[in-house]
């Protein structure tokens, strides 16, 4: 299935700025609100269902014998046509 990027942005920010952004997203998820992302002329609004697939990934990119680049990725995923509950999620 082909992938269509609806919104993408990347920029350097302080840890505090990233934490504030993630808190805003968390508050909207907790309050069952739609999430609107804006960056420059880009804008997209999504309305995640009550249950989503949540993936957390830590990666290291670079040579196996040298310094690399670390990343933490958070991904929420759901079927566009989903309605209602889609399963349970547990994080330890």
Do 59 and 89 belong together in one domain? yes
Q: For position 82, what pLDDT does the model report?
A: 67
CA angle centred on 77, ends 13 and 4, rounded to 5°:
80
Do 32 and 52 belong together in one domain? no
Give the pLDDT confidence of 19-44 residue by residue, as tens digits: 999 999 999 999 988 999 999 999 99
Do 36 and 55 belong together in one domain? no
Do 43 and 56 belong together in one domain? no
Do 41 and 68 belong together in one domain? no
Q: Which two tokens stand for residue 72?
A: 């933490």
Model confidence at 89, pLDDT cuts 50, 70, 90, reads very low
**By residue range, what is the domain housing residue 41?**
1-47
Beta strands in 10-52 (DSSP E): 35-39, 42-46
Query: How many independent structural domains does the chain possess?
Result: 2
Model confidence at 86, pLDDT cuts 50, 70, 90, reads very low
The two beta strands, 42-46 and 53-61, are unpaired
Do 42 and 1 belong together in one domain? yes
pTM (global) more than 0.95: no
**Among residues of the chain, what percentage have pLDDT more than 90?**
72
Do 23 and 63 belong together in one domain? no
Mean pLDDT of 60-89: 80
Give the three-state DSSP class for 20.
helix
């Amino acid at each position: 299935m082909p992938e269509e990027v609806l919104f993408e942005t990347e920029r350097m920010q302080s840890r505090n700025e990233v934490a504030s952004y993630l808190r805003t997203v968390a508050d909207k998820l907790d309050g069952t609100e739609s999430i609107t992302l804006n960056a420059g002329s880009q804008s997209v609004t999504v309305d995640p269902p009550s249950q989503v697939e949540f993936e957390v990934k830590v990666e290291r990119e670079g040579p196996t014998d040298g310094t690399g680049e670390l990343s933490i990725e958070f991904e929420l995923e759901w079927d566009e046509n989903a309605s209602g509950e889609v399963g349970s999620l547990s994080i330890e």
